[in-house]
Chains A and B, each alone.
Chain A
Amino acid sequence: AQTVTQSQPEMSVQEAETVTLSCTYDTSENNYYLFWYKQPPSRQMILVIRQEAYKQQNATENRFSVNFQKAAKSFSLKISDSQLGDTAMYFCAFMKQQTGANNLFFGTGTRLTVIP
């Protein structure tokens, strides 16, 4: 079974500062995907960033980057130059790389508040 753990229920950051959200996971799979999704108060789950486990290079998307440590099963999200619009719940998620296993396993989420 796959499990995803987010140990920080809540975090806050000053506008324009940098914040890192933690995520660890447990799996016996060798090929998989990892995701960070953002859920603002509007409830719409929005993809922030995606990482393929076979790629050693950390994914980046503008102000968002990850630190993927496969051996440690760690997948943290760094948000640089935080903006008020980054205030949301952030979910770390895991998906097997396997046909017919197109489901996400989610962590419990981290509520991020960006303070003006």
Chain B
Amino acid sequence: KAGVTQTPRYLIKTRGQQVTLSCSPISGHRSVSWYQQTPGQGLQFLFEYFSETQRNKGNFPGRFSGRQFSNSRSEMNVSTLELGDSALYLCASSLDTVKNIQYFGAGTRLSVL
């Protein structure tokens, strides 16, 4: 089975732009979660999607949004980029069973200049 795939691997944007990151979960997984990883704040939960609905949300401003498609693929969008948005963005998928194990992709490294 293919793992969690995130594209692109690297992105460079300038302040004020917007960006869209993509995540394809493991086949059969319906839950997709997004995390932001920075040296200063560590790993922080952004949001989770399940069956095309946002089920859970972390403490991030409204500039951060996401969606999930009927095939469980998910996208994350950040509008009006700020320098502080530079981070590694990780996506994780799970079967959402009692085991609740999340499997991570390799991440997208976003640099905002």
A residues with CB within 8 A of B: 33, 35, 37, 42-47, 50, 91, 95, 97, 100-109
Contact = CB atoms under 8 A, between A and B. Distances in A.
A103 B33 contact: yes
Interface string B45-56: 100101000011
B49 to A, nearest CB: 10
B105 A44 contact: yes
Contact of A97 (B33, B92, B100): B100
Q: Which A-B residue pairs are the 9 nearest by beta carbons?
A: A45-B104, A106-B43, A103-B45, A44-B106, A43-B107, A100-B55, A108-B42, A102-B48, A43-B106
A102 B104 contact: no
B48 A103 contact: yes
Given A103-B33, A104-B45, A109-B42, A44 B58 contact: no
Q: Does more than half of chain A's interface fall in helix, strand or loop, or is it mixed?
A: loop
A102 B100 contact: yes
Interface residues of B, number: 27
A101 B88 CA distance: 22
A37 B105 CA distance: 13
B24 interface: no
A50 B94 CA distance: 14
B55 to A, nearest CB: 5
Interface in B70-113: 88, 90, 92, 94, 96, 99-107, 109
Contacts of A50: 99, 101
B31 interface: yes
A44 B55 CA distance: 25
B21 to A, nearest CB: 14
A98 B103 CA distance: 18
Given A43-B107, A106-B44, 8 more contacts: A100-B56, A102-B100, A103-B33, A103-B48, A103-B56, A104-B35, A106-B43, A109-B42
B74 to A, nearest CB: 13
A91 B43 contact: yes
